[in-house]
Each structure stands twice: as C-alpha cells, then as structure tokens.
Structure 1
Amino acid sequence: MDEAKVIATRVGFPVLVRPSYVLGGRAMQIVHDHDALQRAMEQMASDGSLGKEGGLSAERPVLIDRFLEDATEVDVDAIRDHTGEVLIGGVMEHVEEAGVHSGDSACAIPPQTLPAWVVEVISEYTKSIATALDVRGLINVQFAVLGTTVYVIEANPRASRTVPFVAKATGVPLAKVASRVMLGSTLEELRVEGLLTPPVSGGHVSVKEAVLPFNRFPEVDTALGPEMRSTGEVMGIDRTFGRAFVKSQTAAGTVLPTSGTVFLSLNDGDKPAGLVVAKRLRDLGLGVAATTGTAAYLAKFGFPVDRIVGKLSEMEGSSMDNAVELVAQGEISFVVNTPHGRGSREDGEAIRKAANANRVSSVTTVEAALAAVNGLWEQYQSEIEVCSLQEYHGR
C-alpha cells in the first residue's frame, strides 16, 4: 500500500488503478485521493471478487496509471495484409469521455467533434502500430485525445466487438475481408475481385450504443466507469448525429423524455454543459428539477428550475423535495446524474438506484445528456424516418 501511495503521488491524482490479467476492465477504478486508493487496494486484495480468487501478488500486480480527465476516447478497426498495406475500417469517436469502458460507451462514425488532422494522425498511428506488430488481419487500437495530444491506450491484434458496427456503418464486409487476408489474399486482390469496395460516407451518421442489464438488477448503481457492464450493443443510423443517437437510445431501451420533469444533478465540471442541457429541455417544453448546487448555477445564468431537490445528505431537517420520493411517485420522467469522486457518487447513488428500480431512464455522463437533448430537439423539429441499410449504402 505504501508503494502504491508513493506511485500515485508521483503520477498525480486522479489515477486509474487496475489489476493485471483481467478482461472487460474488471475491478478497475478511477481514484481521486489517498483514501479512495486505500479502499481500491483493499477491495482488490481481499474484499472484492478479485480478492476471493487469490488477490494480488508479484505475479499479479496492480498497475497505477495517470488518468486523463476530459479526454475524448477513440476506437479504430483496421486490417493489414502480408504486403504491408493497411485498410482503416473505421474511426469511432466515443460519446462519453475517456474513463467509461469502451464497451459501455456510445460511439459515432464519422467522428463528430475531432478535427480532420487528428483523425489523420490517429489513422497514421494505427498503420504504424499494425506494421510494427506485423499484423495479418484485424487490429483494434484505442486512443485518447486530450487537447492537441493523441495518446495510445492499447492495441489488440484481433477482431473487436465494434467490427459488425463498422461494417454496417460503412458497407464494407470487414469480417469477410479480414478472413480472406488471413488466408493469404491481399487487399488489392480483394478490390479487383469486387469484395472490397470503398466505404459509403457523407450521407449518414451511425451511432453504436451499449445495452445495459440494469433493469434486471434494481439494486445496482448505474454509474458508468472503467469496468464493463454492458451485455450487448445496438446501433442507430440517420442523416445527423442527433437523430441517429435518438434511434440508438430507442433500440437500447432507453426512453427519452417527451413530457414531464427532468432531474439534473451535475458535478462542478459538468455544470457549464448543463446550461445547454437545461436550455434544450426548456425549448422542448419539459420541466426541470435540480439539486441545490446545480439549481444555483443555472439560476446565475438566467435558467431558474421548477423544483429544487435536496441531496440525500441534505434531507435531515430540510423541507426540500426528496429526489428518491419524486422518482418513486412518478414525478420525474428522466434523470441526469453525473458523479465525480467519492462524495458526490454516494450522494447520487440513491437517486440512480431509485430511477433504475422505478424504470425511469437515466444517464450518468453530461456527454450523453447533451447528445440526448440535441437529438430530441432534432426529432421535435421533424419526425424520425426509417430506411434500410441498402438505402443508406445506395445499393
């Protein structure tokens, strides 16, 4: 533990604490101080499921990395043949910021906010990594973009869960192309054969969304983090990102509000973006309830809320509305709660669990909230249309 504290102090909080040799981000945690680090180490060593399987050892150490706050995560699927040519199948920008497991995050093709030069840099990094590893077939590389710096998170020379999504988004049969490449064909030969065609682009946006099993586990905290929790994926396609995002939410079973009151509880870093969320909710004719801190911030910029709701820790002796009771009584139609660190996470856990238990949809990142309200606004302006993949691909 002492060594972990020294490393975390040197690296600088927040840090990502993760055990070795696990899949799906299992037992990974983002910690913001020494107390949280102590708890994370104890859970991995003895208390949690990982501890019950043998805990930590010299052969199974804990890795402590600097966590990139406010970074944008990016996934790339590519194919390399034995001649060294690399095909970039798709560059996917995540909706949620880095720190949410890629399997739980929504993502879009083409990237919606990344500058063209960043996408080009990411493509070149992917080609260099595939060449250095002498890959024959598929490779998935994950990046984090912070400011003007592109970081490589990890590279996996295998098929990723995103391959079917990329294939449907672009019209390129990546799995079939990769299989032929692994059997010795070149990408150029597959172009001549007609199997490998240029990707369809320019006319639509595709959004992949995770399907989460929280409706089966009403007592589980729905806050997303580095440990993967999804059990499937869906996608939405439309001519704009907002409309495609709404379709993806519908497919995933998330009911976005068209009436009623939306509850907002935002950490300090997310409050500026919350202004946009609140404005869009007003434009849509929805009511807004918020915690004291969020309500005070919105009021400073001319967005008073309809109801001020107390946090769990503020309810003793208070006459404020109780968020959990409002959800249970059916007075809240949607919940936006963005935890940050230990304290706010404990305050928000009760409202997230109440929303889950009462089948009220919720999001736990401000990025998802922005995408949802902007998509609803586009849907409000014109009805959603349904087209086949063949129509989008022009085939």
Structure 2
Amino acid sequence: MITDIKCTLVIGSGPIVIGQAAEFDYSGSQACLALKEEGIRTVLLNSNPATIQTDREIADRIYIEPVDPESVIEIIRKEKIDSILPSTGGQVGLNLVILLDKLGILSSYGIKVLGTPVPSIEVAEDRKKFFNLMKKIGEPIIESYTLTNSDYKKLVPEIKKYPLILRTGFSLGGSGGVIINNQKELFDYCNDYFSVRNDTVELDESLLGLKEIEYEMMRDNNGNCISICNMENLDPMGVHTGESIVTTPSLTLSNDDYQKLRTSAIHIVNEIGVVGSCNIQFALDQEKDEYYVVEVNPRTSRSSALASKASGYPIARISTKIAIGYNLNEIRNPVTKNTYAAFEPSMDYITVKIPRWPFDKFSVKREIGIEMKSIGEAMGIGRIFEEALMKAVSSLDIKQAVQMRLFTSPEKTMELMKIPNDQRLFAIFEGLFQGMDTDKISELSGYDKFFIEKMKNIANAISTIRPNIS
C-alpha cells in the first residue's frame, strides 16, 4: 500500500443519463468503502444527489457540486486532498482528470492520480495515439482518421473506403456516433459539426457484421494480469455493446480463438500501462481466422459491472485496492474469503444480459446502433443458455416476454430481424414459430447459428407446453 495517501478525492459520474446506467453508483460506492477499509479519509464529488454514493455511510465527506475543475480546486484546498481516484467515475472521471492534468492543477497541488496514470488514459482514449500504439506493438487494428475544423476539407477527399464509424473523442456510450456511408454524408456531417464545435472527429473503418468479443482484465502495479471473464455479443459489430444481448462466458469461440484474444488483451494492457480494471473489445472474423482491436476502456464500465455480477469477482473493489498500491497476490477476495484476487474466476454457468429500452414509453424510432439508447439491463443466470436467456427475458417486464411472439407477417418479421432494433430477439422467435429456417434467420440477424438453434429449443418447448401458440 502507498503509505503517504491520507485523503482521497473520488470522482463520481454525475447524473444517470442514457448511455450511462447505475453501474457507476456501484463502482464508486465500492471504491469509497475499499478506501475507508484502509483508513484513508474519503471525499466524494458527485453532482447527482439521487445515488447511493451520497449516503453518509459511503464516504467521510460528500460534495454535491458540479464535476468540474473549479469544484475540485475548492475541495482540494478545503479538505487537504493528496490523491484523486477518477477511474470509478466512468468517462466523466477520466475526462476530468485529463483536464486537471492539462490545466496543471494536479501538479500545482501535488495530487497523486491513483490507478492508471494520465498518460496511459490518454493513449487509450485518444484514437490517434491508440492507433499508433497498436501499430507499434503489432496488434491488428483498422485504419483510423482524425479530422479537425482546419483540415477536414483537405482530408475527406483522401478517404476512399466506406462505410466508416464516426464518433467524437472521449465520448460516453457511443454518444454522437454515426455510420457514414459515403463522402457526401461525411462532408455534410463535418460541415454541421464544425460550425458549432471546434474539437476533433474520429473515423474508423467499419467492421460491420463481425463477431464482437470483450475481455474484462485486471492488472496490478507489478504487471501481473488476469482475465476476469470474456463476453460474447449476440449482435454483430455495428451495435454498441451496451445495446447488444451479451453472454458470459463466450459460447462460440474455439479454444484457439479464446487464448489468442486473451493473449492479445494481456499484451495490450501491459503496453498501455493500465493499473486496475480495463475492458477490451475485439472484432473477430472466424472465417478468415483474423481479429481486430476495437477499443480499450481503462476504467470500470457498464461491461465491468456485468462482468462483476456474472463472475462474482468484485472488480471495483479489487481495482481500488490496486490503485492504492496492493498487488493481486496480496488482496484476499472478499467474496470467496479464502482465495486471492490473482485467481481467475472459473464459471460453470452461463449469464445472459439483455438491454432494457424505453421505446414502450415513447413513440420514437426503435432502431439501435453504435450510440446507446438503453436505460438499463436485465441479467439471467443458468446452467444452459436457454435457461439464462429466458430468465433475462422474464426480467424485462414487457408484454412480449409473455408470448415470445410479435404476430407479424413473414415480411415484417424478416425486416425486424435484419435491421437492429429492440424487437429483434422476439422477431427471431416469431420466425421460428412461423417455421423459418435457422440458417436464414442467422443470415438475416447476424446472430451465430449456435444461438438460433438454442432459441429453437426454447420455441419447441413453448410449442409443446402451449400447442396453440404456433
């Protein structure tokens, strides 16, 4: 443990908004409690009063103030802060600590950043720096472009490959993310964007249709690194992982695929210099036996909360202990009580996460994509995929979960399968009840045939129990 830490400022994530659920309530609260266990005075800054983080039992001192440099300076002076923990505050926390570093506030007051250092955060969050590092260390990555107000008119004509994924840097939940199909769309977007903004626009070559796999990693101060679990998105690339149905662990990867991506994940977090938890996303092309690194989140995230619940590994708590100087072999797992945090969790069950969208409350376009629209999620745990999926569906508390049907025409059913939307899962079941071929459903939806066959097992069981449903 770092002995000169006496008073730590924990950055909260601010208000709960679409694209950011209550996972940061969990991670920030666990961080505060983990610090207090070590006798460190804990000060919390969070602009959101409607969170368990602001309960008096969580932190020693709580400030419900704007999460900005002015508030931080005032708190540093008043509370004699000597360290700051940004990684459990989501993207808000990372953006703030980078800004504090650039303004010289951290160095002026001698504030130590706990966990992943600022230069490493910048490498992971800045698409250009991240792209260059991946190229340098030999990890496969797609072409990436950065446009600014001063150079986009010159650079756009040089870009030849479309479609492209466009997003702004340091963004939350894919906010502002769009798919650009041609040069005209890109020019139109840039003209509108740079007329009111003066920051950067990031462009990545599209990996639409490939399998999306995530690894939740933990790395300590000595460079020891473990994979807590991996996750497989049922929806292919082109749908934000927060918008996708996700199974833990992955179910369609070969052992070679699993080990190859795990080795890559360890390589990446070591090169970036992550200290604590980290989420890495890959795009996998199983036909060509190729993979691409999509992005790295050097913080606790929505995926971290899912991985923690799915595996039973207290990610936020362990990550905080590492941030104050402990290593994996020194931290006893508070869940198992008799093993250390260096042990990788072993799962003999399956979890399925399904997002919960608010479309039943609002009359809006129901399509989903690279920008998050979900407001929460439900998770089911079972010995087999079918059990876990049905538990998650039941927890959604929507009318489709009762019938598992949409009663749409075959044409409409196929349309709902093809275009990513909140009803795609039920459209697949509708297609199965209508007698559609599993290969056709897999082709339309982009779901691996393995999952379609599992859903067919459910449809057959429902038809046996309720013969009049099909």
Query: TM-score if structure 1 supplies the norm length?
Result: 0.64
Equivalent residue for 1:126? 265
Deviates more, 1:104-113 or 1:13-22: 13-22
Q: Is contact 1:211–1:232 with CA below 8 Å preserved after alignment?
A: yes
Q: What is the Cα deviation at residue 184 of structure 1?
A: 2.2
Amino acid at match of 2:331: L
Amino acid at match of 1:66: E
Q: Map 1:247-258 onto structure 2 (within 5 A).
A: 247-254=391-398, 255-256=400-401, 257-258=403-404
Q: Is contact 1:77–1:160 with CA below 8 Å preserved after alignment?
A: no
CA offset digits 1:286-308 (Å, max 9, x no partner): 588xxxxxxxxx8xx9x9xxxxx
Q: What is the Cα deviation at residue 148 of structure 1?
A: 1.6
Equivalent residue for 2:378? 234
Partners of 1:3 and 1:108 lie apart in 2 by: 43
Partners of 1:283 and 1:71 lie apart in 2 by: 24
Equivalent residue for 1:110? 249
Equivalent residue for 1:217? 362
Amino acid at match of 2:329: E
Q: Is contact 1:262–1:287 with CA below 8 Å preserved after alignment?
A: no
Check 1:62–1:279 CA distance in 2 against 1; reply closer, same or farther (3 A cut).
closer
Check 1:152–1:287 CA distance in 2 against 1; reply closer, same or farther (3 A cut).
closer
CA offset digits 1:104-156 (Å, max 9, x no partner): 11211111222221211111111112211222211111111123221111112
| 37, 60, 82: which one aligns with 2:186 | 37
Larger % of strand: which?
1
Q: What is the Cα deviation at residue 245 of structure 1?
A: 2.1
Q: Determine helix, strand or coil for the equivalent of 1:70.
A: coil
Q: Is contact 1:19–1:44 with CA below 8 Å preserved after alignment?
A: no
Q: Is contact 2:432–2:456 with CA below 8 Å preserved after alignment?
A: no
Q: Is contact 2:162–2:182 with CA below 8 Å preserved after alignment?
A: yes
The number of residues matched between the two structures is 293
Partners of 1:182 and 1:94 lie apart in 2 by: 30
Task: Work out whether 1:6 is the aligned partner of 2:86.
Answer: no
Partners of 1:20 and 1:170 lie apart in 2 by: 31
Check 1:38–1:251 CA distance in 2 against 1; reply closer, same or farther (3 A cut).
farther
Task: Work out whether 1:26 is the aligned partner of 2:175.
Answer: yes
Q: What is the Cα deviation at residue 79 of structure 1?
A: 0.8
Q: Determine helix, strand or coil for the equivalent of 1:162.
A: helix
Q: Map 1:137-156 onto structure 2 (within 5 A).
A: 137-146=276-285, 147-156=288-297
Equivalent residue for 1:261? 407
Amino acid at match of 1:245: L
Amino acid at match of 1:72: K
Q: What is the Cα deviation at residue 186 of structure 1?
A: 1.9
Partners of 1:114 and 1:369 lie apart in 2 by: 13
Partners of 1:278 and 1:105 lie apart in 2 by: 15
Partners of 2:302 and 2:216 lie apart in 1 by: 10
Partners of 1:233 and 1:279 lie apart in 2 by: 20
Q: Determine helix, strand or coil for the equivalent of 1:227.
A: coil
Task: Work out whether 1:205 is the aligned partner of 2:350.
Answer: yes
Q: Map 1:1-395 onto structure 2 (within 5 A).
A: 2-3=153-154, 5-8=156-159, 10=160, 12-45=161-194, 54-55=196-197, 57=198, 60-146=199-285, 147-190=288-331, 194-196=339-341, 198-201=344-347, 203-218=348-363, 220-254=364-398, 255-256=400-401, 257-258=403-404, 261-263=407-409, 264-265=411-412, 266=414, 281=430, 284=433, 286=434, 365-367=445-447, 371=451, 374-375=454-455, 377-378=457-458, 380-381=460-461
Q: Determine helix, strand or coil for the equivalent of 1:206.
A: strand
Partners of 1:42 and 1:123 lie apart in 2 by: 41
Partners of 1:279 and 1:29 lie apart in 2 by: 26
Q: Is contact 1:77–1:139 with CA below 8 Å preserved after alignment?
A: yes
Q: Determine helix, strand or coil for the equivalent of 2:377.
A: strand
Partners of 1:253 and 1:3 lie apart in 2 by: 51
Amino acid at match of 1:241: F
Q: Is contact 1:17–1:40 with CA below 8 Å preserved after alignment?
A: no
Q: Determine helix, strand or coil for the equivalent of 1:98.
A: coil
Check 1:39–1:268 CA distance in 2 against 1; reply closer, same or farther (3 A cut).
farther
Q: Determine helix, strand or coil for the equivalent of 1:130.
A: helix
Q: Is contact 2:252–2:450 with CA below 8 Å preserved after alignment?
A: no
CA offset digits 1:7-28 (Å, max 9, x no partner): 43x2x11111223343221221
Deviates more, 1:185-194 or 1:92-101: 185-194
Partners of 1:279 and 1:165 lie apart in 2 by: 24
Q: Determine helix, strand or coil for the equivalent of 1:150.
A: strand
Q: What is the Cα deviation at residue 45 of structure 1?
A: 4.2
CA offset digits 1:332-363 (Å, max 9, x no partner): xxxx9x9xxxxxxxxxxxxxxxxxxxxxxxxx
Partners of 1:262 and 1:269 lie apart in 2 by: 12
Listed as ranges, the gaps of 5+ residues in structure 2 are 1-151, 420-425, 464-470
Check 1:205–1:7 CA distance in 2 against 1; reply closer, same or farther (3 A cut).
farther
Amino acid at match of 1:377: N
Equivalent residue for 1:320? none
Q: Is contact 2:385–2:454 with CA below 8 Å preserved after alignment?
A: no
Q: Is contact 1:143–1:153 with CA below 8 Å preserved after alignment?
A: yes
Q: Determine helix, strand or coil for the equivalent of 1:96.
A: coil
Check 1:365–1:40 CA distance in 2 against 1; reply closer, same or farther (3 A cut).
farther
Q: Is contact 1:280–1:374 with CA below 8 Å preserved after alignment?
A: no
Q: CA RMSD in A?
A: 3.7
Q: Determine helix, strand or coil for the equivalent of 1:16.
A: strand
Partners of 1:189 and 1:87 lie apart in 2 by: 14
Check 1:282–1:123 CA distance in 2 against 1; reply closer, same or farther (3 A cut).
closer
Amino acid at match of 2:355: A
Q: Is contact 2:237–2:283 with CA below 8 Å preserved after alignment?
A: yes
Query: TM-score if structure 2 supplies the norm length?
Result: 0.54
Q: Determine helix, strand or coil for the equivalent of 1:215.
A: coil
Q: What is the Cα deviation at residue 5 of structure 1?
A: 4.2
Q: What is the Cα deviation at residue 267 of structure 1?
A: 6.4
